[in-house]
Structure 1
Amino acid sequence: MREAAKELRKEAHMTVRRANETAAFVLINTENYHRKLDRLLGDSSKFEKLSYNPIEEIKRKANKTNETINLATNAIHFQIITGDFSTSYLYGNPVPMPPYHLAKRLNSLLTPYVPDEYGVASSAEFLSKLKGSPSSGTIATLDVESFFTNVPVGKTIDLILEKVYRDPSTPTLKIPEKALCTLLEICTRKAHFTTRRCHMYIAMGSPLGVLFANFYIGVVEERVFSWMRHPDMYISYINDTFVMAPSTQDIKTSQDV
C-alpha cells in the first residue's frame, strides 16, 4: 500500500495523505484539497495570519517559564530549549507542533489527569468490553465533527488547571499554576505553521490535540452522566462513541446531549 501511495503522489492532480487514526491512505483531487484547506484556514476564530515568525519570541517565553518552574521545585525539571527550530507545515489536519520536547513533557505530566472512565485506548480494549455487554438493545455510533479544531482551547486549559490544582481526588502537580498555564498557552495558542503558499499562521487549536480532546470530552461525559441516566453501554475513543441503549429514543437523548 505504501508503494502504491508513493506512485500516486507523482500525479499532479492527486493528493495522497495518511488517514487519521488508521494506517489507510486518503486520495483526493488536489484542487479540491487546496480549496478545503483555504476554507479551513479562513476561519479567523481558529487561525490568525501572521506577518512575522514568532519562534524566537516563543522560545524566550518558554525558557523563562521553564526557569521559573525549575527554581520553584526540585520534583519536576524542564529542560531549557536550545537550538534552531523551523516552522511546522500544514498537511490536511492543522496540528502544528511547538518545540517538541516541551509538548512531549507536558503530555506525559498531564495524561494521568485525563478523565477516562468511559474511554478506551485501543480496539482490543473495545472488543474486550463488548464481550461482557448486554445481548440486546439499540446500537449507534456517534462522531464529533471536526473534533480537534473545535475543541475550545481556553476552556480546556481552565478544566486542566481545575483538575490539577483544585480537585481533591487528584494529586496537585508540583508546578506553579501560572507557569503551567503559560506553557499550555505556548503549546496551543502560540503554535504556528506555514502552508503551501508560504503563508504563516498561528493556530487557535492545540498541538497537544489528543490530550486536549480526551480531556475535554472526558469532563463533558462526567458532568452529563452525573445527572443523565446511563445507557446500557457507552464507550468512547477520542471523537468516536459507541452507544447501546434499550430504545432508539434513548440513543437520540444521548446524541442531543
Structure 2
Amino acid sequence: MRKAARELRNEAHVTVRRADKTAAFVLIDTEEYHDKFDLILGDSPKFEKPSYNPIEEIKREANKTIEKNNAATNAVHFQTITGDFSPSYLYGNVKTHKNGNPLRPIISHCRTPTYHLAKRFICLLTPYVPNVYSVDSSTEFLGKIKGSLTSGTIASLDVESLFTNVPFGETIDLILEKVYRDPSTSTLNIPPNSA
C-alpha cells in the first residue's frame, strides 16, 4: 500500500490528499484540485496575493511589539523572533461527504515567524474563552447527551468557510473587551496598548 502511495505521489496528474473528517485518502486529478483552489482563492476580499515575501517585515513588526510589551511589564515576557522562516502554505482536504467534493482549505503556519508566539497567546487567552455552551470534542458531546434525560432537538449548523468569514476587527475588539474590561474576569498581565 505504501509503495503504491509513493508511486502515485510521483504522478504529476494525480494529487493524493486526506479526506476531510476521515482517515481515508483521496486521489484527485491535479488540475481539478488546482481549479478548486482557484475558486477559493479568487475570493479577493479574503485572499490577496502578496507582491513580495513579507517574512522579514513580519519578524520586524512582531519584534517591535514584543520589545514594547517586555519593556512595559515584568509579568509576561515574550522571546524575540530569530531565525529563518517560510511563508505559510495552503493545502486542502477533500470533503467526500459533500456534493461536488469541495476542498476544506487549511493554512499551515508551522514554519512562519509568529507560529510560536501564537501558541503562547493561545495558552494566555484560553482561560477567557467561555466554556458554558461548548465542548472540547465530539466524545465529550456524546457523553453529555447520553447522560441526559431531557428531551429536545439537536441541530447541527454548518458555516461555509468559517475561518475566512470571521471579521478580524470585531473579533479583536471582543477579545480586548473580555480580557481588559469584563469585571467577571481577571485582567491579562499584558498592557492593552501592546497587545
Could you tell me the TM-score, scaled by structure 1's length? 0.63
Alignment-derived partner of residue 167 in structure 1:
182
Alignment-derived partner of residue 57 in structure 2:
57
CA distance in 1: counterparts of 2:29 and 2:52, whole angstroms: 31
- Displacement of 1:161 in angstroms is 0.9
Alignment-derived partner of residue 119 in structure 1:
134
- Displacement of 1:19 in angstroms is 4.1
- Displacement of 1:146 in angstroms is 1.3
CA distance in 1: counterparts of 2:170 and 2:190, whole angstroms: 20
2:156 matches 1:144: no
The size of the alignment, in residue pairs, is: 180
2:110 matches 1:95: no
Alignment-derived partner of residue 191 in structure 1:
none
- Displacement of 1:8 in angstroms is 3.9
- Displacement of 1:133 in angstroms is 2.5
- The answer to whether the Cα contact below 8 Å between 1:94 and 1:149 also exists between their aligned partners in 2 is no
- Stretch of structure 1 that moved more, 100-109 or 86-95: 86-95
CA distance in 1: counterparts of 2:4 and 2:128, whole angstroms: 41
- Stretch of structure 1 that moved more, 57-66 or 130-139: 130-139
CA distance in 2: counterparts of 1:105 and 1:148, whole angstroms: 20
Q: SS at 1:143's partner residue?
A: coil
* Amino acid of the structure 2 residue aligned with 1:70: N
Q: Relative contact order (C-alpha < 8 Å, sep 6+): which is higher?
A: 1
Q: SS at 1:154's partner residue?
A: helix
Alignment-derived partner of residue 173 in structure 2:
158
Residues 63 and 171 of structure 1, relative CA distance in 2, 3 Å threshold? same
Long gaps (5+) in structure 1: 181-257
Q: SS at 1:90's partner residue?
A: strand
- The answer to whether the Cα contact below 8 Å between 1:63 and 1:81 also exists between their aligned partners in 2 is yes
Alignment-derived partner of residue 194 in structure 2:
179
- The answer to whether the Cα contact below 8 Å between 1:19 and 1:25 also exists between their aligned partners in 2 is yes
Residues 126 and 6 of structure 1, relative CA distance in 2, 3 Å threshold? farther
- The answer to whether the Cα contact below 8 Å between 1:14 and 1:28 also exists between their aligned partners in 2 is yes
* Amino acid of the structure 2 residue aligned with 1:95: I
| Aligned residues with identical type, % of pairs | 72
CA distance in 1: counterparts of 2:30 and 2:149, whole angstroms: 46
Residues 24 and 171 of structure 1, relative CA distance in 2, 3 Å threshold? farther
Long gaps (5+) in structure 2: 93-104
